[in-house]
Structure 1
Amino acid sequence: MNTDDAPRTGAWQHTWRLTVAAVVSVPVWLSTLALMRSRYGEPGHWVLVGDPLVALACLTVLRWRRRWPLAVALTVAVASGVSALATGAALLALCSVATRRRPGKIGAVVVAYVAASQLAHWIYPVQGSAETLWWVQVVVPALTAGIAVAAGMAVGARRVEVRSLRARAESAEREQSARAAQARALERNRIAREMHDVLAHRISLVAMQAGVLDHRGDLSAEENRVLVRGIADGAHQALEELREVLGVLRADAARPEPPQPSLDRVPDLVADARASGLDVRFTSTVTAAPPDGVGRTCYRIVQEALTNAAKHAPGAVVRVTIEGAAGGTLDVGVRNGPAPRGAARPPASGFGLLGLGERVAVAGGELGHRPTSDGGYLLTARLPWPDGPAHRHERGA
């Protein structure tokens, strides 16, 4: 509901409740007026003037029943003893107190209402009232009060239920918003990892080849052409891979994603690094294909390690070892020697190893990286390899 409409709705509900309380009291007042006329001829000024004024005052006081429920209910209940038109106001006040479901306060107002009803028999001595049994004069107001209390407690229970449902709905909405925010954050991290994996490796190789052209003045024309061709090919491949990633992000959910690189693509990765001028020594004792998730994580580990070696240690020897078997673990190690002296150190972002750590954690593995004693760097990873049907690689290393 619109917040601007809330005060208007509350005022309307207050008005119609007061109207119902006044309408309920009219038959009581008219019957009292008729009985007084039948016995005394004239009902008197109190019945015609005083009674309506007291009822009007009670209806006015009911405006503050939610702020001071007990005080207002007791006041109106006592006033109903001298005003037949205030009967509806007293029942409404009793109902309002009952909505809070406080037995002590409800009992106090009921006692005050029943006691005030006995006072009414002295103020309005209608015909036949003296012959009425005393317990009847007590039971009838008590039953009336009981109906008002039951109605009020039902309304109170309904309000509690509505508040509980509203709180649950708000809690569910907050949880849904939190899950949506978490999903967006995870998706942003996934996109960042994919973009880094796609671009960092290719751009690092292109930068390394460009650095060779810049620092080597003794290269032959053929060697220069090879390096320039390698830079062009690397840039083209980077654009193609970027286009594939963007296509996956923009593709319809029903469209299948292109196959992701796995362990069998590591030799191609090593070959690309060698073609770019990186001295890579590759050793693998794995003869079976691991699960797709494990193989893809292994590929990304080697890719990130070669990227870092090309950036931070161009010209150093890089040794890549992969070993493991089904039912155990897949161990990956990439070690590079120290960077040549005088080589410019590129700025380190740290996002590559951060994303790699997230990948390895998702796969349930362990990642380690540290400088070596000779000034190089070592990156290791251990990935769980669940036991299952194994098949040999179709491609050799």
Structure 2
Amino acid sequence: MNTDLAPRLGWWQQTWRLTAAAAVGVPVWLSTGVLLRSQGVETGSWFLVGDPLVALGCLTALLWRRRLPLLVAVTVAVASTVSALAIGAALLALGSISARRRPVEIGVVVLAYVTASQFAARLYPVESPPGSLWLQLAFPALTAGIAVAVGAAVGARRVEVRSLRERAESAEREQTARAAQARVMERNRIAREMHDVLAHRISLVAMQAGVLDHRGDLRAEENQVLVRGIAEGSRQALEELRDVLGVLRADPGHPEPPQPSLDRIPDLVADARASGLDVTLTTAVTGSPSDVVGRTCYRVVQEGLTNAAKHAPGSHVHITLEGTAGDRLGVGVRNSPAATRTARPPASGFGLLGLNERVGLAGGSLSHHPEPDGGYVLTAQLPWPNPAHGKGT
């Protein structure tokens, strides 16, 4: 398994690892000197000078074990067999190469260490009991096995820590993406609500103001009615805008006020008539649809009236509602050609785009197109499942 997962070591970490490796070799070096003296063997200058120098060279080579792991490990493992003081450096090299968790590299270093250790007896001829050849093989193999086990455990821990870190970073990225998506959805929601609330009222106000501008033959009473309608429409637009902003700024746990549904369509038609729009409503709906379907139907009618007031002033608008539970709810808004020519208001197209998204989320379909005579038709088909069937499933 792979494994270049070793973190970069700082100066302090490097120092204490090398110090620990040197400390492990000191008892071995001292015990070897005591055994040699007890058997009357002169230690000589190599034991006092050469052995420590080799150990120092091995410890120094370990500084490059991250860059050249296999070469440093083999070199230290072989060199340590001629230095009792370098046994700690050899074990650290074995542990370091084992942390990489690459079996071939581990096997090469262990073989080099155990094989080279067999020649160390000629350097320090400590007397051994007869038949102790197996001990000369078992002791290096045992120490190498311990170093490999510790190094493999450290490597496994590094893999686990890296995995946990990557999972945490991935979760943080996903959280950031979800937050960004939530902000986009909230902006879209604000845009839809602002359009639904303001476009209808402002369109009616603009229609009334257009009548005042183009009709010079109106009586004083008619002018007053139109002015009052403009003032009332503006006031209602401000109140509805305040309600929307209040909902958007409310606490997450604060319940939202009830949204208009199918039963509010007659009020919507009455407001349009009071503003001077010629509207007729034909209803053939039996039952009460769900809140989502009813609210979507209300928005379809509202958008149709808004577009008629903006683009076809003075036209006749005919609204039809029909449907039964267990089938579909159909809504249609048709306006005749404009009766008067006024300055065409700017059209963004966002109203129908947002309405199409609303209808799609409700599981329905929306269509809109001009007619040959210059009128315009907006229709929607919304699913209306039977509540009794929904409870039985």
TM-score range, shorter chain: over 0.9
SS at match of 1:80: helix
Amino acid at match of 1:68: L
| Preserved contact between residue 54 and residue 79 of structure 1 (Cα < 8 Å) | yes
Quote the residue 2:23 is aligned against. Answer: 23
- Partner residue, 2:238: 239
Partner of residue 91, structure 1? 91
Partner of 1:193: 192
| Paired residues for 1:62-141 under 5 Å | 62-126=62-126, 128-129=127-128, 131=130, 133-141=132-140
Match of 2:374 in 1: 375
Distance in 2 between residues matched to 1:336 and 1:12, nearest whole Å:
82
Corresponding residue for residue 352 of structure 2: 353
Instruction: Spell out, residue by residue over 1:246-287, the C-alpha distance to the aligned partner (whole angstroms, 9 max, x if none).
Output: 111222333322111111111111111111121112111113
Q: Which residue of 2 aligns with 1:285?
A: 284
| Structure 2 counterparts to residues 173-192 of structure 1, below 5 A | 173-192=172-191
Query: SS state of the match for residue 286, structure 1?
Result: strand
Task: Tell me the SS of whatever aligns to 1:81.
Answer: helix
User: Are the counterparts in 2 of residues 302 and 320 from structure 1 also a CA contact under 8 Å?
Assistant: yes
Q: Deviations over 1:73-117 (max 9, x none)?
A: 000001001111111111111111111111111111001111121
Paired residue for 1:172?
171
Structure 1 CA distance for aligned equivalents of residues 277 and 30 of structure 2: 107
CA drift of 1:164 comes to 1.1
Q: CA deviation at 1:312?
A: 0.9
Query: AA paired with 1:253?
Result: P
2:11 corresponds to which letter in structure 1? A
Answer yes or no: is the 8 Å Cα contact 1:313–1:336 preserved in 2: yes
Task: Give the letter aligned to residue 367 of structure 2.
Answer: G
Assess if the C-alpha contact under 8 Å between 2:313 and 2:340 holds in 1. Answer: no
Give percent identity, aligned residues only: 74
Q: Which runs of 5+ in 1 are unaligned?
A: 1-5, 390-397
- Give the partner amino acid of 1:59: L
Aligned to 1:394: none
Q: What does 1:178-327 align with in structure 2 at a 5 Å threshold?
A: 178-327=177-326
Q: Is the 8 A contact 1:205 1:273 kept in 2?
A: yes
* CA–CA distance in structure 2, aligned partners of residues 357 and 19 of structure 1: 73
Per the TM alignment, residue 11 of structure 1 is displaced from its structure 2 partner at its CA by 2.7
Matched position secondary structure for 2:285: coil
Provide the residue aligned with 2:159 in structure 1: 160
Q: Is the 2:94–2:144 Cα contact (8 Å) retained in structure 1?
A: yes
Distance 1:145 1:254 in 2: 63
CA contact (8 A) 1:121 1:129 kept: no
Q: After the TM superposition, which of the residue ranges 195-204 and 338-347 deviates more from structure 2?
A: 338-347
Distance 2:184 2:255 in 1: 23
Query: Unpaired runs of 5+ in structure 2?
Result: 1-6, 389-393
Q: 1:341 Cα deviation (Å)?
A: 6.4
- After TM superposition, the structure 1 stretch with the greater mean CA deviation from structure 2, 352-361 or 140-149, is 352-361
One-letter code aligned to 2:303: E
Bigger Cα displacement from structure 2, 62-71 vs 175-184: 175-184
The structural deviation recorded for 1:13 is 2.0
Q: 1:122, 1:260 → 2: CA distance? A: 95
**Separation in 2, partners of 1:25, 1:377:** 95
Measure, in 1, the Cα distance between the counterparts of 2:68 and 2:337: 82
In the alignment, the residues of structure 1 paired with residue 97 and residue 370 of structure 2 have an alpha-carbon distance, to the nearest angstrom, of 75
In structure 1, what residue type is equivalent to 2:354? Answer: G
CA distance in 1, matches of 2:296, 2:10: 61
Task: Give 2:387's aligned residue.
Answer: 388
